[in-house]
Chain A
């Protein structure tokens, strides 16, 4: 069975591009595009990995990550964070919040794919 990835991102064209490359790689890709109820989407989908944008409408990716980590079912869930902000303090904040990897935009397709595979040992 294909592994599940949940992409939480609000930019439609990025969603399409990232979904395309992951699907081609054999992933079952689900998407979600707002921050308000992102944690519900995580619970509903039970993904093998979450790709989480930082700047989302309704709630920041950092807050969502804290919600994910405070749920005992998801303490080990791999989370790859995406952000346009690449300053050291942002990376530090992501690590403190429990991100497994922090990737700055603009990223390349292969970087996303490599990170997803590595974080899930695929």
Chain B
């Protein structure tokens, strides 16, 4: 009998654990009690929508019902091992995945610990990425992170030994278990210390992780694309339940200010997705390359909206893209960095940046070719009006700058200006006013 054939037994166990009657569960998922009875006695195969509905009603992952706890544990462990980053150093780790079932079977508790630690490490890594820019200027924070990374290193190394060593002497086994336990504690303490530092550190007036950092981490963990919102846009559903759910489910969003900013960002995403449907825009890009004017004319929408939308399309459709936005006030909105390009948090240092040029003349989109050291890229910027100017009040707008590697530049897209005079581009002969 296969794992899935026992799904009914697991459903019954979970239902009784929760103290639910068969009739109550059946009603909750919209099936008859007699049908549920057949399912629970493994006399009806279950899958698809019904399984998902039952899993939701029983507050468990569907896989836990269909495959059982061991399979779920094994899958999570494999995922944890596969998530161990490679590429930082010169060769890839190759854990012996063929023995992973034996490990999970013999040491389910330790397997769970590795999964938990890997998840913790993932969360910490995201925090690390968000703070990288400030690290070099803050020795205290640098020390705290060094502690965490050292602990993670020890955990990784020890976990690999536990998984990969065929015959481990009892004294070594005990020692490494003890070390894992110690490192787990240290990691927890290190994480707490970091949180404490970030919330109440010596520069508490300027929290080390800003609202923008949190939202950037949230966008990054979703790869700047939200299929759920695409579906919602497609159905023209007015409710913003999806947005709230997406934000609530993210570990990256902690503060109320971040919730508001994330909400604002996703509302804008949804509007863009409705105005510029995924399939149609992707098709235009497939035909013409990244050519914002073509999209702008096809859908009769402002250029700034097109630039934003391109940055939120899946990478398969556009290749690598980056997006930077700045309000008239100088506030930067959450960024989408382009791999290989390091740009500052503020563009106030150089008048030649397209983002600044666009804010100077919001009616005129800018297209320019730029370079940072040897990395050549194309920047396109356009502004969107936020507040109309009155006779006695000033207006306000936000400038958006889409960046793509020059290799992705479509044929025929004119590059009128060769601008490489920027304070962050690394050139020594820059003549721009600073």
Chain A residues within 8 Å of B, Cβ to Cβ: 11, 13-14, 16-18, 20-21, 24, 55, 84-87, 101, 103-111, 114-115
Chain B residues within 8 Å of A, Cβ to Cβ: 84-86, 88-94, 136, 145-146, 149-150, 152-158, 160-161, 164-165, 172, 175-176, 179, 182-183
Nearest-Cβ distance from residue A39 to partner chain B, whole angstroms = 23
B161 touches A14 (CB 8 A): no
Docked pose: A14 CA to B86 CA in angstroms: 19
Docked pose: A85 CA to B121 CA in angstroms: 16
Docked pose: A16 CA to B157 CA in angstroms: 10
Docked pose: A16 CA to B176 CA in angstroms: 9
A108 touches B154 (CB 8 A): no
Residues on A with C-beta less than 8 A from B172 are: 20
Known pairs A21-B161, A109-B161, A111-B91 / 7 extra A-B pairs, C-beta < 8 Å: A13-B182, A17-B161, A85-B146, A103-B89, A108-B157, A111-B89, A111-B90
Residues on B with C-beta less than 8 A from A16 are: 158, 175-176, 179
B93 touches A111 (CB 8 A): yes
* Given the contacts A13-B182, A108-B160, A109-B157, A84 and B149 also touching, CB distance less than 8 Å: yes
A selection of 18 A-B contacts at a CB cut-off of 8 Å is A13-B154, A13-B182, A16-B158, A16-B176, A17-B179, A21-B161, A24-B165, A84-B145, A105-B150, A105-B152, A106-B157, A107-B153, A107-B156, A107-B157, A108-B86, A108-B89, A108-B92, A108-B93
| Max count, chain A CB within 10 A of own CB: residue among B86, B154, B172, B182 | B154
A14 touches B150 (CB 8 A): yes
Docked pose: A71 CA to B169 CA in angstroms: 41
Docked pose: A71 CA to B124 CA in angstroms: 40
Nearest-Cβ distance from residue A23 to partner chain B, whole angstroms = 10
Nearest-Cβ distance from residue B186 to partner chain A, whole angstroms = 9
Docked pose: A10 CA to B263 CA in angstroms: 45
Nearest-Cβ distance from residue B161 to partner chain A, whole angstroms = 6
A17 touches B157 (CB 8 A): yes
Nearest-Cβ distance from residue A68 to partner chain B, whole angstroms = 22
* Given the contacts A17-B158, A20-B172, A86 and B88 also touching, CB distance less than 8 Å: yes
| Max count, chain B CB within 10 A of own CB: residue among A13, A16, A86, A115 | A13
Residues on B with C-beta less than 8 A from A106 are: 84-85, 149, 152-153, 155-157
Docked pose: A17 CA to B94 CA in angstroms: 17
Docked pose: A32 CA to B149 CA in angstroms: 20
Instruction: For B154, give its contact among A14, A110, A114 (CB under 8 Å).
Output: A14
Nearest-Cβ distance from residue A45 to partner chain B, whole angstroms = 22
Chain B residue nearest in CB terms to A55: B146
Instruction: For B90, give its contact among A14, A84, A115 (CB under 8 Å).
Output: A115
Residues on B with C-beta less than 8 A from A103 are: 89-90
* Given the contacts A13-B179, A21-B161, A55-B146, A108 and B84 also touching, CB distance less than 8 Å: yes
Chain B residue nearest in CB terms to A24: B165
Nearest-Cβ distance from residue B244 to partner chain A, whole angstroms = 35
Docked pose: A107 CA to B146 CA in angstroms: 14
A105 touches B175 (CB 8 A): no
Docked pose: A110 CA to B89 CA in angstroms: 11
A105 touches B182 (CB 8 A): no
Residues on B with C-beta less than 8 A from A115 are: 90
Residues on B with C-beta less than 8 A from A109 are: 93, 157, 160-161, 164
A18 touches B157 (CB 8 A): yes
Residues on A with C-beta less than 8 A from B165 are: 24
Docked pose: A36 CA to B161 CA in angstroms: 31
Docked pose: A107 CA to B201 CA in angstroms: 30
Docked pose: A13 CA to B156 CA in angstroms: 11
Instruction: For B161, give its contact among A20, A86, A105, A114 (CB under 8 Å).
Output: A20
B91 touches A110 (CB 8 A): yes
A17 touches B89 (CB 8 A): no
Docked pose: A114 CA to B176 CA in angstroms: 22
Nearest-Cβ distance from residue B122 to partner chain A, whole angstroms = 12
Instruction: For A84, give its contact among B94, B146, B182 (CB under 8 Å).
Output: B146
Nearest-Cβ distance from residue B131 to partner chain A, whole angstroms = 13
Residues on A with C-beta less than 8 A from B149 are: 84, 105-106
* Given the contacts A20-B172, A108-B84, A84 and B150 also touching, CB distance less than 8 Å: yes
A105 touches B90 (CB 8 A): no
B150 touches A108 (CB 8 A): no
Chain A residue nearest in CB terms to B125: A106
Chain A residue nearest in CB terms to B154: A13
Chain B residue nearest in CB terms to A10: B150
A107 touches B94 (CB 8 A): no
Chain B residue nearest in CB terms to A18: B157
